[in-house]
Amino acid sequence: MAAYLVKRLLVGLVTLLAASIVVFSVLEIVPGDPAQLMLGMNATPEAVAALREQLGLDLPLIWRYLSWLGGFFVLDFGRSYTYSVPVSELIAERIVVSLPLAIISLILSTAIAIPVGLFAAARRGKAADAVSMGLSQFGVAVPNFWFALILIYVFAVWLRMVPAGGFPGWSAGLWPALKALILPAIALALPQAAILARVTRQALLEVLGEDYIRTARAKGMPWRYVLWRHALRNAMIPVLTILGLQFAFLLAGTIIIENVFYLPGLGRLIFQAITQRDLIVVEGVVMLLVVAVIVVNLLVDLSYALVDPRLRSRR
């Protein structure tokens, strides 16, 4: 068990390191001098050179990479070129919107998908199965930002139940803040839930064909007991895999959805930074999202070990 954990951890770290090199070098080859950009076209060459030195841009590539990477461990992502404030401050301001949004939609989609998948598998071939799988087929096909537009039209424009966009901030109180996140979370969660429900159903049906299900039935265990106690746990392995992958999609989704609802989250930040050529902010946010994806996939790997004893004893 310990060796499995250590191995997964090492792999995660190596992936992180490789990802950091990719992010750093991709943005390194971008044309344009940040110092020139910050000071504007009219700045004197001396002023630009001075700023370059101040930003550390005159150091060799490898040094800049190492200091950039080292900064991550103390949450120092450098200073924004446009706002001249630490990137970490910008991120901290925005992450309080994006992270709750991603977590709420992940919980929402899991809470919808797994019961639906279980229900459909238990009634396979019956009307309930056909209806829920037909709906999920639609759900998979709906782009979340379009779904978001419909939700805005129905609940904000027409019914006026929630605001159409914007975020009052957590300081405005829990309820107004949550109200602003409800539609974005639903818009993100439903298409993901549709995929997850289909995967759950499929995994369950596959497990239900296994020999050990027959053994459990031959033991006299009723069908429902077998489904809950024998099949579900075995079916969780593929479901967990998809859940891990979905987190990446959810993060990507937040970037788009925040634009639909004008939420001041990381997604908005990254787009602003791109238009302002504020590369150090782009770097910081991209790296943060990549870290999140890798950490979640690491957690998924670890949860396999909880579900599956075969992994626990493997070295």
Partner 1 sequence: MSDQLSITQDSFGSILARAFRSRSFVIGFILTAIVALMAGISFFWTPYDVTKLIVSDRMQPPSAAHWFGTDHFGRDNFSMIMVGARNSIAVALVAVGIGMGLGVPLGCWAAACGGWIDETLMRFNDLVFAFPALLSAVMITAIFGPGAINAIIAIGIFNIPVFARVARGGALSIWPREFILAARASGKGPMLITIEHVLPNIANLLLVQGTIQFALGILAEAGLSYVGLGAQPPMPSWGRMLFDAQTRMVVAPYLALFPGFAIVLTVLGLNLLGDGLSDTLDPKLRRQR
Partner 2 sequence: MSLLEIEGLDLSIGDSRILKGVDLSVAPGEVMGLVGESGSGKSMTALTLMRLLPEAARVSGRVTFSGIDILAADEARMCALRGDDIGMVFQEPMTALNPVKSIGEQVAEGIRWHTGANRADAEARAKTILDRVGLPESRFPLSRYPHELSGGQRQRVVIAIACALKPKLLIADEPTTALDVMLQAQILELLRDLVDENRMGLLLISHDLAVVADMADRITIMRSGEVMEAGETARTLSEQLHPYTRQLALASMHVPERSKVHAANGPNLLEVQQLTRDYPSRRVSLFTPGEPTRAVDHVSFSMHAGQSMALVGRSGCGKSTLARMILALDRPTSGDISFRGMSLAGKSESELRVARRDMQVVFQDPYGSFDPRHRVERLVSEPLHLLYKRPTPTERREMVARALHEVGLGADDMHKYPHEFSGGQRQRISIARALITRPKLIIADEPVSALDVSIRAQILDLFAELNQRLGVAYLFITHDLTVARAITDDVMVMHEGKIVESGRTADVLDNPRSQAAKELVAAAPDLHRAIVRRLREEG
Residues of this chain that interact with partner 2 (CB under 8 A) are 3, 6-7, 210-212, 214-223, 225, 229-230, 233-234, 307-310, 313, 315
- In this complex, which beta carbon is closest to partner 1, that of residue 50 or of residue 206? 206
- In this complex, which beta carbon is closest to partner 1, that of residue 149 or of residue 306? 149
Site string for partner 1, 280-299 (x = CB under 8 A): --x---x--xx--xx--x--
Site string for partner 1, 58-77 (x = CB under 8 A): --------------------
Among the listed residues 21, 104, 87, the one whose alpha carbon sits nearest the alpha carbon of residue 290: 21
Pick what 153 binds: partner 1, partner 2, none; C-beta below 5 to 8 Å, kind-dependent. Answer: partner 1
Q: What's the Cα-to-Cα distance from 96 to each of 167, 249, 265, rounded to whole Å?
A: 11, 19, 8
Residue in 66, 75, 135, 150 binding partner 1, rule: CB under 8 A: 150
Taking residue 142's Cβ as centre, other Cβ atoms within 10 Å add up to 14
Tell me how far the alpha carbon of residue 189 is from its chain's centroid.
Answer: 12
Residue in 59, 69, 248, 311 binding partner 1, rule: CB under 8 A: 248
Minimal distance in Å, beta carbon 119 to partner 2? 18
Among the listed residues 286, 111, 134, 117, the one whose alpha carbon sits nearest the alpha carbon of residue 185: 111
H or E element that contains 12: helix 2-28
Among the listed residues 116, 135, 134, 108, the one whose alpha carbon sits nearest the alpha carbon of residue 246: 108
Q: What's the Cα-to-Cα distance from 80 to each of 92, 151, 167, rounded to whole Å?
A: 13, 35, 23
Site string for partner 1, 87-126 (x = CB under 8 A): -------------------------------------xx-
Interaction of residue 23 with partner 1, rule CB under 8 A: yes
Interaction of residue 218 with partner 1, rule CB under 8 A: no
Interaction of residue 199 with partner 1, rule CB under 8 A: no
For every residue of 62-114, DSSP letters joined together read: HHHHHHHHHHHHTT---B-TTT-SBHHHHHHHHHHHHHHHHHHHHHHHHHHHH
> Interhelix angle for 279-307 vs 266-275, to 10°?
150
Interaction of residue 221 with partner 1, rule CB under 8 A: no
Minimal distance in Å, beta carbon 35 to partner 1? 18
Gap between the Cα atoms of 295 and 289, Å rounded: 10
Q: Which residues sit at the interface with partner 1, rule CB under 8 A?
A: 11, 14-15, 18-19, 22-23, 26-27, 29-30, 124-125, 137-138, 140-146, 149-150, 152-153, 157, 205-206, 208-209, 245, 248-249, 251-252, 255-256, 259-260, 270-271, 274, 279, 282, 286, 289-290, 293-294, 297
